[in-house]
Amino acid sequence: EADIYQTPRYLVIGTGKKITLECSQTMGHDKMYWYQQDPGMELHLIHYSYGVNSTEKGDLSSESTVSRIRTEHFPLTLESARPSHTSQYLCASNPRGAGADTQYFGPGTRLTVL
C-alpha cells in the first residue's frame, strides 16, 4: 500500500481566491493522479503524472493546474476558485513492484467555494 497525504481535508473559501491542494507520498512512486468527484458520483481523472516534470491532463477538462517538481509532491492549484469547483478532490499513486497496477488513494480534500 501507499501512504498518500492530502491537505487540507476540508476547505471553505470565497470566490476568486487562489488555492493549492497538497498531495504527497514518501514511497518514491512515479505515477500520481488527481481525481474530481461530486457527491455520490463517479470519479473523473483531471490530471496525472508519470514522473518529475511530466504532467498530463486527464479525461475531464479542468481549470486547475498541477506541477511535479519533486517525486513525492503533486500539488493542484486553482488560480481563481468558483462555486462550480466545489467538489471532492482525490489524489492517488501507483506503488512500484508487486501490485504496481493498483492505485492507492489519499483521504481526499472536500472543497467548498462560496
Partner 1 sequence: AQKITQTQPGMFVQEKEAVTLDCTYDTSDPSYGLFWYKQPSSGEMIFLIYQGSYDQQNATEGRYSLNFQKARKSANLVISASQLGDSAMYFCAMRDSNSGGSNYKLTFGKGTLLTVNP
What does the longest C-alpha to C-alpha distance in the chain come to?
A: 44
Output the smallest distance, CB 62 to partner 1, in A.
Answer: 15
* Site membership for partner 1, residue 40 (CB under 8 A): yes
Output the smallest distance, CB 60 to partner 1, in A.
Answer: 11
**E strands of 14-101, at which residues?**
19-25, 32-37, 44-51, 54-57, 65-66, 76-78, 87-93
The residue ranges that bind partner 1 (CB under 8 A) are 1, 31, 33, 40-45, 48, 50, 58-59, 88, 90, 92, 94, 99, 101-108, 110
